[in-house]
Amino acid sequence: MSDSHGAYFIPEPSKWPIVGTLALFVSFSGGAMMLNGSGPGTVVFGLGMAALIYMFAGWFADVIGESLKGVYSDQVDISFRWGMGWFILSEVMFFAAFFGALYYARVLSVPWLSGEGSGLATNTFLWPDFEASWPLNVMPDTSNFAVFEETIPAFGVPALNTALLLASGVTVTLAHHALKKGHRSSLCWWLAATVALGFIFVGFQAQEYMHAYSDLNLTMNSGIYGSTFFMLTGFHGFHVTMGATMLLVVLVRSMKGHFSAEHHFAFEGVAWYWHFVDVVWLGLFIFVYWI
Amino acid sequence: MFVKKLRNYIVCAAVSLSALWSTSASAEYALNLTKGVTPISREVYDLHMIILYVVTAIGVAVFAVMFWSILHHRKSKGAVAAQFHHSTVAELTWTIIPVLILVVMAIPATKTLIKMEETTSPDMTIKVTGYQWKWKYDYMDEDISFFSSLNEESNKIRKGESETNVMDHENYLLDVDNHVVVPVKKKIRILTTAADVIHAWWVPALGWKRDAIPGFINDNWTYIEEPGIYRGQCAELCGRDHGFMPIVVEAVTEPEYLAWVEKMKTQPVEINPEKLYATHCSTCHQANGQGLPGAFPALAGSPIAIGPAAAHIDIVLNGKPGTAMLAYGPQLSNEELAAIITYERNAWGNDVGDVVTPEDVQAAR
Amino acid sequence: MSEAVSHEEHHDDHDHKPSGIGRWLFSTNHKDIGTMYLIFSLIMFFIGGAMAMVIRLELFQPGLQYVDPQFFNSMTTVHALVMIFGAVMPAGVGLANWMIPIMIGAPDMALPRMNNMSFWILPFAFTLLLSTFFMEGGAPAGGWTMYPPLVGQLGDGFPFLIFAVHFLGISSIMGAINIIATVFNMRAPGMTFMKLPLFVWTWIITAFLLIASLPVLAGAVTMLLTDKFFGTSFFIAAGGGDPVMFQHIFWFFGHPEVYILILPAFGIVSQILPTFARKPLFGYESMVYATASIAFLSFFVWAHHMFTVGMPLTGELFFMYATMSIAVPTGVKIFNWVATMWRGSMTFETPMLFSIAFVVLFSIGGFTGLMMAITPVDFQYHDTYFIVAHFHYVLVTGAVFALFAAVYFWIPKWTGNMYDESLGKLHFWLSTISVNVLFFPQHFLGLAGMPRRIPDYSIQFAEWNQISSIGGFVFGVSQLILVWVVIKCVRGGEKATDQVWEGAEGLEWTLPSPPPFHSFTVPPQISDASAH
Ligand code: HEA
Ligand code: HEA
Ligand code: CUA
Ligand SMILES: [Cu+2]
C-alpha cells in the first residue's frame, strides 16, 4: 500500500469509455458482416476502426494532459501499474490457449490419429495410411488442405528475429536507465533504436509470411501445422506491431519531455509490454520453429 | 389441433396425478438409476448407491446440526451470542474426515473404471457411426452394415401427422426401424465415431455412454447377460433433431443371433427411391421437398435440383463443407445415389425428366 | 469498527452529482456504475428466465407443441449465455462495484473510466448476441458450450456469437483488473489483508480466476472463427486437429467460470450469516485459504465435463481425483458457516433466510457434483437431466439465491429505505418451495434416462416434467415480487439507519444510508482492534 494517501484522483465523467464501446460494437458488427459476406460490412468495419482510433487518441490525450497537470499521485501511479500488470497476465493466458493447442496437437491428437495410445482403431478404420510427423505436412486427408514441402527453418530469419527482439529488450532497458538518470537525448536514441528493431522484426516476419504463402505453399490452410503456426506467429506479430506503435508514442512523448526521472509510468508500462512480447517470442522460437 | 392439445393436457394431468399417488407402480415410474443388464452396469449402479448414501448421510448430519441451532439459538428465544470464532481442532477435523471419506470412495471407483477401459480380446466388434440424425452399424466380423433411425410412427406423431395420441404410443421416440441385434453372453466391443458432428451412443442398461467424434474412434465394450430389448438415445447435442435419434439394442440368444446374421446377409438390397429419400434426406429437406426456410433449402424448384445433373450429383456426393449437407458418397452406393437424385429431379413438381444412372454417379466420384 | 471515522458529514455540500443521461453514460462513479450493473443484470435475468419459461413450456408434456426443435435449442443455448454472462456475472460485478470501495474505505474504484467501459460493453455485447435471433439461420443453437463441429453449422449468427463472446470477455477482464487494482491499492490505512471483509476476499480471488480463464475462452472461440472462415483446422481431424481439443480449452475456462459465479456468492453469505447470528464469522482465515484452494484446484479439474469423450485411463483417474478433492475446501466453508450459526443469537430477516437456504441447497448441488466426479458413474449421468439438476442447484439456489440475499441485505444501504419485510418473506418462501419443485424432480428424470437438450421426450418422463414445469412457472412468477420489492424500496419506505442491521459490522455500515455520492474522499483510519 502506498503511504501517500492524499486525495485520490477521480476523473470527471468522461465520454471516452462509451465512445470506445460504440467503436468496438460497430467494428465487431462490421467484422461479422464482412465474414458473412453480407451488407456494407467493410464500410461499417472501417467506421468502427476509425472511431476506435479517435477514441484512443482522445482518451490518451486526456490522460497525458492530466499526467502533465500532475494530478496523478503516487497512488494513482500504482493503480496503473496493477492494471497494466494484470492486463499483461491476461494476454499471457490468451497465448496460453494457442500454445495449449499446439501442445495438444503435437503430443495428443496427431499421434492418436496415427494409431498411438488407444488410437489404433482410429487409424485402421478412418485414416489407414496416415503417419504422424511434425511438422505435419501430410494430413490425415489431404484433399481439402494445402500440402507444403518444407517449413521455415528456425536458424534463418527466425533466429535473426530472435536476436532483434532480444536486442530490443536491451535497448529499451538502456532507455529506461537513461530516463532514470534524466538523460533525455540518450533516452530518445535508445527508444528510437527499440522502435526500429521492432518494426524491422515485423518487416522480416511479413517477408517470411509471403515466402511461406507463395513459395512453400505453407498457409493457414496447411492442416494443424499451418493453423498453429500462423495463429501463434500471427497474433504475436500483431502484438509486436501494437507494442512498437506504443513505443513510438512514448518516443514522441519523450522528445516532448513528458517524462521525469520519477514519473514515467507510460514508459514503464510499455516497456513491460515489450518484454512480454519478447518472452512470448522466445516461446514461439523454441516450440514453433525449433523443436 | 387445439382439441388434441387439450386432450393431451388432460391425459397428462391424469397420468401424473395417478403416478403421484401410486408409488407402487415403480416399474415404469423410475426414480433411480437403472441396474442394467451387464456386470459393469451393476457395479456402476452399486457405486452410485454408495456415493448417494455417503452424501445423504453427510447432508443429514450437517443439516441436522444447522437446523438444531436455528431452532435453539434464536434471538427470540433469548439466545445470547457466544463470541468464539475459531478452533483449530474443529477445523482440522472437518478437513481430514472428508479427505478420508473421499479416499475410501475413490478405491472402488478406480477399480470399476479400470475394468471398463479394458476393451481387449472381444468376441465381436460393432462400429457405430453417428449421423445427423441416425445411426449406422457396421458388424466388423460379418460384413453387415445398416442404418437405424427413428421409426415412422414416432416420427409422424412428433410432426403432428398422426392421429395417435403421444401418450398412447408406448415407445414414443424410443423406437427405430432397424434394431441392433447382438448375442447375449459375448464380449462385444463397440467402436463409436461420427460422420458430421459429435454424437454420443448411450443405452442406459449397458451402464455407459460414449461420445462419437468425427475423425476419431472410441472403443468400449459390453457383455449382456439377459436377452431383451434395451433402449437408449443420442446423448450429445447434435443439432435440430438430436432428440430424435434413438438406439434399440436387441439382445438374443446365440442361435437366434446366427439366424439373424444369415438373414441379413442373404437379404437382397432393395432400391426404393422414395424410401431412400425418406431415410436419408427428408429429415432436413422434408418429405415434401420444401426444406425448412432459413435452415435447409427446399429441393422443390431448387436451382440445383432442376439444373444440370452434374451439379446435383456433385453436391450429394461431396456435400457442402461447413454446412449440415453431408457428403453422401461414402455412405451410399452408386445405385442408391442415382435413385435418390433421379427421384429428387422428378418429384414435387420438379420435372426435369432425366434419369441419373449409377454410371453417372461413378463417373463423378 | 468504532474507531473508523467517516468524514462524510463534513462536506456533503460537495456532493454534486452530474445530472441527466450523461450521469449514466459518462459515469466515473462506482455507485452509479454498480447500480447500472445491478439493473442490467435484473433485466437479463428476466430475459434469460423468459427463455427458460419457453423451455419449460415445451417440456410440459411429450410431443412437440409450441416451438421448432431448432428454436428450442436456441432457447437452451441463449438462456444459458444470458443467465451466466448477462445475469449472474454482472450482478456480482455490480455488487463489487458498489460495496468494495465502501468496504475498504476507498474513494472509488481505482480506474473509474475503465470501470464505466466494463459496464457499457455489456448491453452492446448482448445486442450482438440477441440480434442473431433475427438472422438467417437463427440464434446459436449448439449449446452454451459451443462445441464444434456443430457450432459451425450456425448461419449468419456465427460471427456475431463469437464477437459477442470476445466483447463480454473484454468487459469482464477490465472489470477484474479494476477490482484487483482497487483492493491492492486503495485500502484505507490499517485495512490489512487479513481484515478485509470476506466478500472482498472472494472477489479478489474471483478476479484472478477471471483474468486467468477468460482470455483462454477468447482464444478458443477465435479458433472456432478461423476454422470456419480462414481455413485452419484446429478442430478438424482431417487436418490433424481434434474437435475434443476445443472441449479441453473451453473447459479450462469453463470450470473456473463456475467458481467465478459461486465465489462472490460465498462472500455474500459469509457477510450475512455473522450479521444475523450476531457472532463473528467462524474460521475467517480458513475461509480465505479454502476459497483460494478452490480457485487453485479449479484449474485442474476441467476434464470432468468430458469423461465420455474417450480420454486415456490415466487422464480419467487424474481428473476424477482432482475433482473429488474440491469437496474438501468447499466442505470447510459449509462447516464454518454452520459453526458461525452455532450458539449465535439469530434472527431471520429475508437476507438471512436466503442465506440459510443457500447453505442447504448449494450443498445438495455440491453433493450431486461429487457424485458426478465419480467417473464410471458419470458415464451414466453425463448429459442427462441429472446434470441439469446439479447445476441449477448450484447456480439458481446457489449463486442466484445469494444474489437475492445480497440485494435484501444491502438495499437499505443503497436507497436509505427499508424494504418491505413481509413481501421479502413471501418472495423467499414462494421461491424456495417452487425452486425445489422445479429442479428436484430433474434428478429423477436424469437417473431414469432423460437426456438434456431435447425438445421432446418419451412418455415415461411425462409426470416429472410436468411437475417441474409447474414449479418453474411458480418460480418465475415469484420473481415479480422481487421487482416489486425493489421498486417499492427505491420509491420510499421506513428510513434505514446507518448501521441498518443490529449485528452489522464493517466500514460500509458507518456511512449514512444512502451513502453520499463520493464517500471516503479522505480515507478513514482503521484501528488494530477492529475485526473483519
Ligand atoms: C456455480 C456453479 C457450480 C459449482 C459451484 C459446481 C460445483 C461442482 N461441480 Fe459442477 N457444474 C456446473 C456448475 C457448478 N458446479 C455446471 C454449470 C455444469 C454443467 C455444464 C454443462 O455441461 O453445461 C456442471 C457440471 C459438472 C460436472 C460434469 C458432469 C457431466 O457433464 O457429466 C461435474 C463432474 O464432475 C461437476 C462436479 C462438480 C463438483 C465436484 C463440484 C464441487 O465444487 C462441489 C463441492 C461441494 C460439496 C461436495 C458440498 C459441500 C461439502 C461438504 C458438506 C463437505 C463434505 C462432503 C463430502 C466429503 C462428500 N459439475
Ligand atoms: C446462472 C445460470 C442459470 C440460471 C439462473 C438458470 C435458471 C433457470 N433455468 Fe437454466 N440453464 C443454465 C443456467 C441457468 N439457468 C445453463 C448453463 C444451462 C445449460 C444450457 C445448455 O445445455 O447449453 C441451462 C439449461 C436449462 C434447462 C435444460 C434445457 C435443455 O437441456 O434443453 C432447463 C430446463 O428446465 C432450464 C430451466 C431453468 C429455469 C426454469 C430457470 C429459472 O430459475 C428461471 C427463473 C426466472 C424467470 C422465470 C424470470 C422471471 C420471471 C418472468 C420472466 C416473469 C414471467 C413469468 C412467467 C411467464 C411464468 N435451464
Ligand atoms: Cu446425435 Cu444427438
Ligand atoms: Cu466443472
C184 min Cα distance to partner chain A (Å):
7
pLDDT for the residue numbered C12: 41
Q: In chain B, what are the domain boundaries?
A: 25-75+86-116, 124-266, 273-364
Interface test with B, best of C317, C374, C453 (most B CBs within 10 A): C374
Domain ranges of chain A: 1-71, 73-290
Name the one residue in this structure whose C-alpha cell is 479494476.
C178
Does domain B25-75+86-116 fall under CATH 3.60.21.10? My reply is no
In sequence order, which residues have a C-beta less than 8 Å from that of residue C11 and are 6 or more positions away?
Answer: C521
Distance CA C356, CA B86 (A): 20
Spot the catalytic one: C56, C195, C279, C333.
C333
Chain B residue nearest residue C133, CA to CA: B294
C452 is catalytic: yes
C-alpha cell of residue C3: 474507531
Q: Which ligand is nearest to the CA of C251?
A: 4
Q: List subunits contacting chain A, requiring 3 or more Cβ pairs under 8 Å.
A: B, C
Confidence at residue B16, expressed as pLDDT on a 0 to 100 scale:
45
CATH number for region A73-290: 1.20.120.80
Res B255 pLDDT > 60: yes
Query: Coil, helix or strand for C156?
Result: coil
Mean pLDDT by groups of 10 residues along chain C of 532 residues: 40 60 88 95 96 95 87 95 96 95 91 94 96 90 93 91 96 95 91 92 96 96 94 92 95 95 96 94 93 95 94 93 95 95 92 96 95 95 96 96 96 93 95 95 94 92 93 96 95 89 89 87 70 46
Q: Is C333 among the catalytic positions?
A: yes
Percent of residues, chain A, with pLDDT higher than 90: 56
Q: d(Cα B273, Cα C9) in Å, to the nearest integer?
A: 86
Of C60, C345, C374, the CB nearest to B109: C374
Pocket test for ligand 2, best of C59, C76, C400, C478 (most atoms within 8 A of CB): C76
Q: What is the pLDDT of residue C414?
A: 94
Q: Whose CA is nearest to atom 19 of ligand 2?
A: C80
Among residues A265, A246, A252, which one has the least CA distance to residue A83?
A: A265
C303 CB burial (10 A radius; 0-12, 13-18, 19+): buried
* Inter-chain touch B193–A125, beta carbons under 8 Å: yes
CA distances in angstroms from C433 to A14, A16, B65, C336, listed in the order given: 46, 47, 22, 26
Q: Is the CB of C36 under 6 A from ligand 1?
A: no
Q: Which ligand is nearest to the CA of C390?
A: 1
Ligand 2 atom with the shortest distance to the CA of C438 = 40
Any catalytic annotation for residue C302? no
To the nearest whole Å, the CA of C159 is away from the closest chain A CA by: 5
- How close is the Cα of C261 to the center of ligand 4, in Å? 12
Tell me whether strands B246-252 and B180-183 are parallel, antiparallel or unpaired.
parallel
User: Range with the lowest mean pLDDT among A98-107, B10-19, B250-259, C330-339?
Assistant: B10-19
* CB within 8 Å: A125 and B191: yes
pLDDT tens, residue by residue, C275-313? 999 999 999 999 999 999 999 999 999 999 999 999 999
**CB distance C377–B44 less than 8 Å?**
yes
Residues in chain B: 365
Helix %, strand %, coil % for chain C, to 5? 70, 0, 25
Q: Which ligand is nearest to the CA of C397?
A: 2
B57 close to ligand 1 (CB < 6 Angstrom): no
pLDDT single digits (tens) A225-262 = 999 999 999 999 999 999 999 999 999 988 888 888 88
| Cβ B239 vs Cβ C488: under 8 Å | no
Query: What confidence score (pLDDT) does residue A6 get?
Result: 55
- Cβ–Cβ below 8 Å for A86 and C187: no
| Mean pLDDT, chain C, whole residue set | 91
Nearest to B219 among A121, A140, A144 (CB): A121
For ligand 3, what atom is nearest to the CA of residue B238?
2
Active-site residue flag, C79: yes
Compute the distance from residue C381 Cα to the ligand 3 centre, in Å: 16
Q: Is B358 helix (H, G, I), strand (E, B) or coil?
A: helix
Chain C CB within 8 Å of residue A87 CB: yes
- Which is the catalytic residue, given C172, C293, C350, C478? C172
Alpha-carbon distance C271 to nearest alpha carbon in chain A (angstroms): 25
Quickly list DSSP for B249-276.
EEEE-HHHHHHHHHHHHHSPPP--HHHH
A144/C521 touch (CB, cutoff 8 Å), yes or no: no
Model pLDDT for residues C146-183, shown as the tens digit of each residue: 999 999 988 889 999 999 999 999 999 999 999 999 99
Active site residue C37: no
Q: Do domains B25-75+86-116 and B124-266 have the same CATH topology?
A: no
Measured CA to CA in angstroms, residue A250 lies from A128, A171, A194, C26, C114 at distances of: 57, 14, 11, 27, 21
Residues ≥6 apart with Cβ < 8 Å to C59: C455, C457, C465, C468, C469
- A211: exposed, middle or buried (C-beta count within 10 Å: 0-12, 13-18, 19+)? middle
Task: Give the active site residue among C30, C305, C382, C518.
Answer: C305
Cα(A109)–Cα(A227) distance, integer angstroms: 14
The dotted CATH code for B273-364 is 1.10.760.10
Let me know if C227 is a catalytic residue. no
Is A121 touching C (CB cutoff 8 A)?
A: no
Looking at ligand 2, which atom is closest to the CA of residue C435?
Answer: 43
The residue whose CA has the least distance to atom 37 of ligand 1 is C369
pLDDT at B51: 93
Atom of ligand 1 nearest to the CA of C261: 1
- CATH for A1-71? 1.10.287.70
Spot the catalytic one: C330, C355, C363, C368: C330
DSSP character at residue C311: -
Q: Is C481 in the pocket of ligand 1 (CB under 6 A)?
A: no
- C350-373 vs C421-448: helix axis angle to the nearest 10? 10
Cα C494 versus chain centre, distance: 30
Q: Is pTM beyond 0.90 here?
A: yes
Name which residue sits closest to atom 54 of ligand 1, judged by CA: C331
Report the complex ipTM: 0.90
Whether residue B191 and residue A140 make contact (CB cut-off 8 A), yes or no, is no
Q: Is the CB of B240 under 6 A from ligand 3?
A: no
Report the percent of chain B where pLDDT is more than 70: 92
Give me the residue from A125, A127, A140 closest to B127, CB to CB.
A125
Amino acid identity for residue C149 in this structure: P
Confidence band, pLDDT 50/70/90 cuts, at residue A4 = very low
The verdict on domain B124-266 having CATH code 3.40.309.10 is no
